[in-house]
Structure 1
Amino acid sequence: MPMRALRISAAVEAGSLLLLVLNLATVHLAAPASVLGPVHGCAYLIGIVLTWQLTKTVAVRALSVIPGIGTLLVLRSLRSAEAASQ
């Protein structure tokens, strides 16, 4: 379950960041930003917490705190470590 939640968190974090940047680059409306900002922040924090629960590796934990793409980098790192162990 934690890996599934981490994937969902990564998707929400990346999607909300994309929408925030698109809003900023185009019409710059306040309403979408006021909704998407907290959603993005919560997904970011959830990704950090889940990463710290899943792994004890310092390098992977450090990846999780990179704003915007940290959770995606964590998933990539965990997948490559899983593939290497098989």
Structure 2
Amino acid sequence: MPPRHLRIAAHAEIVTLCLLLANLATVHDRTLSALLGPVHGCAYLLVVLATLRLTVADPPAKLLALVPGIGGLAAVRRITRRHPTASVTPSPSPPPTGGPGPGPARGWNTTIR
């Protein structure tokens, strides 16, 4: 199952595209286009970046995510069908180093006088 943010972004991408095309075919309201255009663009970028970061997304799923409009949903469907029960997480990050831990930070004088 793909992460929730990827599914939401994929649906937002297709819904905003449909609304933009409906607006273009009917009233062509510039205010609506100015609102929906950036939302669609952000949803598209989020779909692409989220899919590229997934460890279980195979190369065809990553290529599908690049297709504007329907690509996000197609990538989500491909990931779901290939890995229906896999725990989907982004690529692992390196463990944190240094910084405050359970004890005092290194190099600090902790002696109380």
One fold, TM greater than 0.5?
yes
- Structure 1 residue 57: Cα displacement: 1.8
Larger radius of gyration: 2
Aligned to 1:3: 3
Extract structure 1 runs of 4+ deviating beyond 2 A.
Answer: none
Q: 1-side partners of 2:75 and 2:40: how far apart?
A: 17
TM-score normalised by the chain length of structure 1: 0.89
Question: C-alpha root-mean-square deviation of aligned residues, in Å?
Answer: 1.8
More helix by share: 1
Structure 1: segments with no counterpart, 5+ residues: none
Q: Distance in 2 between matches of 1:71 and 1:25?
A: 24
Q: Which amino acid aligns with 1:57?
A: D
Moved more, 48-57 or 27-36: 48-57
Residue ranges of structure 2 left out of the alignment (5+ in a row): 87-113
Where do residues 1-86 of structure 1 align in structure 2 (5 Å cutoff)?
A: 3-55=3-55, 57-83=58-84
SS in 2 for 1:77: helix
TM-score by length of 2: 0.69
1:1-38: per-residue Cα shift (whole Å, max 9, x none)? Answer: x7100011011101101110110011011000011000
Matched residue SS, 1:28: coil
Paired with 2:13 and 2:20, the residues of 1 have a C-alpha distance of: 11
Aligned residues, how many?
A: 84
**Higher mean C-alpha deviation, range 49-58 or range 13-22:** 49-58
